[in-house]
């Protein structure tokens, strides 16, 4: 199987090391540029099954603000991010919204919920 050289940034901590990863198929052959072992773990996961935490905003009807920030409760497969984005973009959620409220359960069949990351009062609750 052909070997590839991949460049990636480790997002396991705020340092953000630039990694140079040699991979064969879904296996990592070598990693350079990491400052700790978590960089190697990140590279292995990224090559085998890349995932990301999804974050965006969702429209809110009758809210103090027109949109509410949301995110996936866990990381989702990177290749599903576009599908998830399209599904969430179609939604309008009625106010009030509570932090941690499930906005979409099992989004796109990934088994992961999209949840609100802040409280958002209804318009009439404004003081
Ligand atoms: S390799 Fe280690 S130090 Fe570098 S970004 Fe990843 S976790 Fe942070």
Q: Is residue 104 domain-shared with residue 118, that is, in the same domain?
A: yes
Please indicate, yes or no, whether residues 61 and 38 belong to a single structural domain of this protein.
Answer: no
Residue-wise pLDDT for 4-61, tens only, equals 999 999 999 999 999 999 999 999 999 999 999 999 999 999 999 999 999 999 999 9
Domain boundary pick from 16, 34, 49: 49
Which protein residue has the closest C-alpha to ligand 1 atom 8? 13
List Cβ<8 Å contacts ≥24 apart for 63-66. Answer: 63/95, 63/96, 63/97, 63/120, 63/121, 63/122, 63/123, 64/95, 64/120, 64/121, 64/122, 64/123, 64/125, 64/126, 65/120
Same domain (yes/no): 45, 87: no
Please indicate, yes or no, whether residues 44 and 102 belong to a single structural domain of this protein. no
Domain count, the chain: 2
Q: What is the DSSP letter of 105?
A: S
CATH number for position 39 = 2.20.25
Q: 42 with 88, same domain?
A: no
Residues 59 and 41 in one domain: no
The CATH number of the domain where 90 resides is what? 3.10.530.10
Pair 32, 61 in one domain: no
Q: Are 14 and 44 found together in one domain?
A: yes
**61 with 119, same domain?**
yes
What residues flank ligand 1, with Cβ below 6 Å? 10, 12-13, 15-17, 34-36, 38-39, 42
pLDDT in tens, 51-110: 999 999 999 999 999 999 999 999 999 999 999 999 999 999 999 999 999 999 999 999
Ligand 1 centroid, distance to 21 Cα (angstroms): 14
Q: Which of 7, 11, 12 to mutate to test the pocket of ligand 1 (most atoms within 8 A of CB)?
A: 12
Cα 80 to middle of ligand 1, angstroms: 25
**Domain span holding position 23:** 3-49
The overall pTM is greater than 0.75? yes
User: What's the length of the chain?
Assistant: 127
**Which residue has its alpha carbon closest to ligand 1 atom 6?**
39
List the structure tokens of 49.
């099954």
Label residue 2 by pLDDT band (50, 70, 90).
Answer: confident
């Amino acid at each position: 199987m052909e070997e590839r050289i991949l460049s990636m940034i480790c997002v396991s901590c705020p340092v953000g090391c630039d990694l140079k990863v040699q991979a064969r198929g879904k296996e990592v052959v070598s990693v350079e540029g990491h400052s700790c072992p978590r960089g190697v773990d990140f590279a292995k996961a990224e090559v085998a099954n890349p995932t990301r935490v999804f974050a965006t905003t969702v429209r809110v009807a009758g809210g103090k603000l027109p949109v509410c920030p949301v995110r996936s409760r866990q990381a989702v497969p990177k290749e599903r991010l576009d599908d998830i984005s399209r599904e969430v973009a179609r939604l309008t959620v009625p106010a009030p919204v509570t932090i941690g409220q499930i906005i979409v359960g099992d989004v796109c069949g990934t088994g992961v919920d999209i949840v609100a990351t802040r409280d958002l009062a209804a318009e009439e609750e404004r003081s």
